[in-house]
Amino acid sequence: MSVKVMIPTPLRVYAGKRDSAEFSAATVGEALSGLTNQFAELRKHLYTEDGKLRAFVNVYLNDEDIRYLAKESTPTKDGDTISIIPSIAGGSSETAD
């Protein structure tokens, strides 16, 4: 079962400049593990130190945000496409109003 993972521009530098990679995976989590196993430098930018997807990392299975499916346990089928879409945040001080 082959699933394509689209790699966002800011992470391609850690993936041999590739914009996608294919993995055999039964769930979204397995596909993302395939990605971070093949390109280990990606891992710290996608996951926190305790292994959770970072808040500004958005993962879509085809066009569906996995937060509204079964998150990383969402099952995949042959030919699915997983997209990693950044959201961007920042600010001037350490504490919000």
Partner 1 sequence: MSEPLELWITAELSEKIREHGVETYPYECCGALLGTDHDFLAYDPNQESRKISRGALSLFPLVNRRDDSPRNRFSVTADDVREAEKAATSQGLEVIGWYHSHPDHPARPSDYDRDHAWPWYSYIIVSVHTGMPRDMTSWRLKDDRSGFLPEKISLMKGSAAD
- Residue 51 or residue 90: which is nearer to partner 1 going by CB? 90
Cα-based angle 65, 54, 91 (whole degrees, multiple of 5): 105
Binders of partner 1 among 1-40, rule CB under 8 A? 8-14
**Cβ–Cβ under 8 Å, residues 21 and 38:** yes
Q: Does 68 bind partner 1 (CB under 8 A)?
A: no
Q: What is the DSSP letter of 47?
A: B
Q: Does 63 bind partner 1 (CB under 8 A)?
A: no
Q: How far is the CB of 43 from partner 1 (least distance, A)?
A: 11
